């Protein structure tokens, strides 16, 4: 287990532990080697699944207490095939994005050096095309399908901040932000999104970028330059933009500018971006962004409501296990069909209708979930969603088209990965986990599992805010005389005998400029 530490601003991070990589492309890259191991589908299921503690004796408690216990039902997280697909795509995206940003890659370092001192935009423009292949994608799903919940659980499989101090006996002081999640502003503005970014990076690393861009009244263009640099210096591995449907509410030209901004981050910095939203955002996302971005070969993810079958049975069984009515109600085919009819396979509605039905059964004194109660609850308590559900029930395309949050008719499914349950045997594995014995084992394991020990970080580590040149360590020549005196490699070679790090030597020689003095200079932000 990774060792947790407290960095100076109070954020929780983990110390880097470098692991041998089976995949050759990932070797020799500290950003990838410090990530948690790649998980098998079975491991993903076990890590994502969450079944809160439950005991049948709770059904004997007084009714006013049981009403509160029902809320525990909303904590249940049952992994589904789309969750496993999403985890795999995120894992690949993070690692693929870091391949082209290896801090010890001389080719990358030379590219950054030439671009910065040559007056070009900071990025990866001079790196070969085949060197860049970030796997960003779009995640589209109807409201209530569980996109945000799945994303949060998957992202939490990774530490958000990793502390690097030494890599293979080489001084390497760096904060690595593995992922960041933002919400698209309601007005769809780029400035609003950038403010969110700077505020979040400040919260994580204790920097003050937000204050600076506000104080200097930086324009959008100048903030984009700063953001590009911050992304690179914080070693950000993945950017998730949720609620992307707000783009459709943007002012004139807002969505186009925003998409161009995303494309710049993907293409110029090699930063994988996941855009998450409802079908309302489809028209925008299937336009310029999909055509312009690199690495879209893995396809977007489109999550529709569950269809009747094994996946539906898996979900309903995992939820039905939790009952607080006096009388235990076995799950029958009739009850399953009625619950599907009233929720149309939308997981969020399944939990809400089932929980409300239990509350109704307890309050009415019937103490049993019946088909009549489920229908009554769906009719009286969920009036706002009734028109949408009726449109789905009848498969009335004209009515479905009226509701942007459920309308998937315009999706180009050619770009969507085909899901194969056979490859992962999800149904067999998950069904095994949802029985009582497995739940009790997991509950006991969770109780007994030792919490990671948090310690204060002793070594002096700080975010890289000064690095204008990536240290070039690999690929040095033995004969220092082969290098020109103006070559940064000559400077590094000259200090070999003094046990000086490349960073120290380059800064002393004037090659490294203060990030704050440079990026926030009058010329840049004015």
Reported as a pLDDT band with limits 50, 70 and 90, residue 507 is low
Residues 106 and 179 reside in one and the same domain: yes
Residues 372 and 382 reside in one and the same domain: yes
Instruction: Single out the residue in 286, 303, 320 at which a domain terminates.
Output: 303
Residues 281 and 399 reside in one and the same domain: no
Residue 524 has pLDDT above 70, yes or no: no
Residue 130 has pLDDT above 50, yes or no: no
Residue 422 has pLDDT above 50, yes or no: no
Highest-scoring range by mean pLDDT, 284-288, 341-345, 418-422? 341-345
Tell me the backbone φ, ψ of residue 30, rounded to 5 degrees: -60, -30
Which DSSP string corresponds to 171-206? EEEEEEE--EEEE--TT--HHHHHHHHHHHHHHHH-
| Lowest mean pLDDT segment, chosen from 173-187, 268-282, 291-305 | 291-305
Between 304 and 118, the higher pLDDT residue: 304
Residue 86 has pLDDT above 60, yes or no: yes
Reported as a pLDDT band with limits 50, 70 and 90, residue 447 is low
Between 279 and 498, the higher pLDDT residue: 279
Task: Express each pLDDT in 223-245 by its tens digit.
Answer: 888 998 999 999 999 999 998 88
User: Across the chain, how many H-helices and E-strands are there?
Assistant: 24, 10
Residues 184 and 232 reside in one and the same domain: yes
- Tell me, yes or no, if the pTM score tops 0.85: no
Please return the burial class of 186, using the count of CB atoms within 10 Å of its CB with bins 0-12, 13-18 and 19+: exposed
Residue 459 has pLDDT above 60, yes or no: no
Residue 418 has pLDDT above 60, yes or no: no
Structure tokens at 409: 């008719």
pLDDT at 125: 39
Residue 459 falls within a domain, yes or no? Answer: no
Total count of residues recorded for the chain? 526
Residues 291 and 378 reside in one and the same domain: no
For the segment 102-120, the average pLDDT, to the nearest whole number, is: 58
Looking at the structure of the chain, the number of domains it has is: 3
- Report the percent of the chain where pLDDT is more than 90: 44
Residues 521 and 383 reside in one and the same domain: no
For the segment 450-463, the average pLDDT, to the nearest whole number, is: 41
Between 435 and 281, the higher pLDDT residue: 281
- Report the percent of the chain where pLDDT is more than 70: 63
For the segment 68-73, the average pLDDT, to the nearest whole number, is: 95
Residue 457 falls within a domain, yes or no? Answer: no
Strand 12-15 relative to strand 4-6, pairing: antiparallel
Residue 470 falls within a domain, yes or no? Answer: no
Residues 126 and 248 reside in one and the same domain: yes
Residue 468 falls within a domain, yes or no? Answer: no
For the segment 499-513, the average pLDDT, to the nearest whole number, is: 60
For the segment 97-104, the average pLDDT, to the nearest whole number, is: 90
Beta strands in 178-288 (DSSP E): 180-183, 239-242, 273-277
pLDDT at 442: 55
pLDDT at 116: 44
Residues 269 and 348 reside in one and the same domain: no
Which residue range is the domain that position 122 belongs to?
4-34+80-303
Residues 25 and 46 reside in one and the same domain: no
Residues 428 and 503 reside in one and the same domain: no
Residue 519 has pLDDT above 90, yes or no: no
| Lowest mean pLDDT segment, chosen from 151-165, 323-337, 371-385 | 371-385
For the segment 411-438, the average pLDDT, to the nearest whole number, is: 42
Between 372 and 224, the higher pLDDT residue: 372
Residue 255 has pLDDT above 60, yes or no: yes
Instruction: Single out the residue in 303, 329, 363 at which a domain terminates.
Output: 303
**Rounded CA gap, 215 and 313, in Å?**
56
Residue 441 falls within a domain, yes or no? Answer: yes
For the segment 23-27, the average pLDDT, to the nearest whole number, is: 94
Task: Express each pLDDT in 265-294 by its tens digit.
Answer: 787 778 999 999 887 777 666 554 544 444
Which of 256, 199, 251, 191 lies closest to 230 in space, CA to CA? Answer: 199
pLDDT at 509: 64
pLDDT at 84: 94
Report helix, strand or coil for 139.
Answer: strand
Residues 171 and 157 reside in one and the same domain: yes
CATH of the domain at 90: 3.40.50.300
Residue 97 falls within a domain, yes or no? Answer: yes
pLDDT at 280: 77
Average pLDDT taken over every residue of the chain: 76
pLDDT at 127: 41
Instruction: Single out the residue in 288, 303, 318 at which a domain terminates.
Output: 303
For the segment 156-182, the average pLDDT, to the nearest whole number, is: 95
**CA 254 to chain CA mean position, Å:** 24
For the segment 5-14, the average pLDDT, to the nearest whole number, is: 92
Angle between helices 81-99 and 147-155 (to 10 degrees): 50
Between 437 and 498, the higher pLDDT residue: 498
Residue 162 falls within a domain, yes or no? Answer: yes
Residue 380 has pLDDT above 70, yes or no: yes
Chain position carrying tokens 């009790």: 440
Residue 465 falls within a domain, yes or no? Answer: no
pLDDT at 128: 44
Residues 105 and 243 reside in one and the same domain: yes
Reported as a pLDDT band with limits 50, 70 and 90, residue 416 is very low
pLDDT at 67: 95
Reported as a pLDDT band with limits 50, 70 and 90, residue 119 is very low
């Amino acid at each position: 287990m990774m060792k947790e530490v407290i960095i100076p601003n109070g954020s929780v991070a983990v110390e880097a532990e470098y692991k041998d990589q089976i995949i050759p492309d990932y070797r020799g890259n500290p950003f990838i080697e410090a990530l948690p191991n790649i998980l098998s589908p079975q491991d993903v299921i076990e890590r994502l699944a969450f079944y809160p503690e439950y005991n049948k004796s709770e059904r004997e408690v007084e009714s006013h207490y049981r009403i509160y216990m029902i809320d525990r039902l909303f904590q249940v997280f049952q992994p589904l095939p789309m969750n496993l697909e999403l985890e795999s795509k995120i894992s690949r995206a993070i690692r693929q994005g870091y391949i082209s940003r290896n801090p010890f890659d001389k080719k990358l370092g030379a590219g950054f050096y030439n671009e910065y001192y040559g007056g070009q935009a900071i990025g990866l423009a001079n790196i070969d095309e085949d060197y860049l292949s970030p796997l960003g994608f779009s995640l589209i799903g109807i409201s209530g399908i569980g996109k945000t919940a799945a994303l949060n659980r998957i992202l939490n499989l990774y530490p958000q901040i990793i502390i690097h101090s030494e890599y293979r006996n080489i001084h390497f002081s760096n904060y690595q932000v593995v992922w960041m999640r933002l919400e698209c502003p309601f007005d769809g503005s780029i400035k609003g999104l950038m403010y969110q970014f700077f505020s979040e990076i400040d919260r994580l690393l204790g920097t003050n970028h937000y204050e600076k861009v506000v104080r200097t009244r930086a324009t959008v263009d100048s903030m984009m330059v700063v953001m590009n640099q911050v992304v690179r210096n914080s070693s950000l591995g993945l950017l998730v933009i949720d609620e992307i449907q707000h783009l459709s509410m943007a002012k004139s030209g807002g969505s186009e500018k925003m998409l161009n901004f995303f494309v710049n981050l993907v293409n110029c910095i090699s930063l994988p971006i996941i855009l998450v939203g409802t079908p309302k955002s489809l028209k925008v996302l299937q336009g310029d962004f999909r055509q312009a971005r690199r690495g879209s070969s893995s396809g977007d993810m489109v999550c529709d409501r569950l269809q009747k079958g094994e996946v539906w049975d898996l979900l309903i069984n995992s939820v039905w296990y939790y009952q607080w009515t006096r009388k235990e109600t076995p799950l029958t085919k009739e009850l399953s069909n009625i619950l599907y009819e009233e929720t149309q396979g939308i997981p969020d509605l399944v939990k809400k209708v089932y929980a409300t039905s239990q509350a109704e059964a307890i309050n009415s004194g019937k103490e049993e979930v019946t088909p009549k109660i489920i229908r009554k609850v769906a009719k009286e308590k969920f009036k706002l969603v009734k028109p949408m559900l009726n449109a789905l029930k009848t498969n009335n395309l004209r009515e479905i088209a009226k509701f942007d949050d459920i309308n998937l008719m315009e999706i180009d499914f050619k770009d969507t990965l085909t899901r194969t349950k056979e490859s992962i045997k999800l149904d067999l594995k998950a069904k095994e986990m949802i029985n009582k014995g497995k739940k009790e084992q997991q509950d006991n394991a969770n109780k007994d599992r030792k919490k990671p020990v948090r310690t204060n970080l002793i070594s002096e580590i700080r975010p890289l805010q000064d690095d204008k040149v990536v240290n070039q360590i690999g690929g040095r020549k033995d004969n220092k005389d082969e290098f020109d005196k103006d070559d940064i490699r000559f400077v590094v070679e000259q200090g070999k005998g003094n046990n000086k790090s490349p960073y120290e030597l380059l800064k002393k020689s004037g090659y490294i400029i203060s990030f704050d003095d440079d990026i926030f200079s009058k010329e840049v932000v004015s």
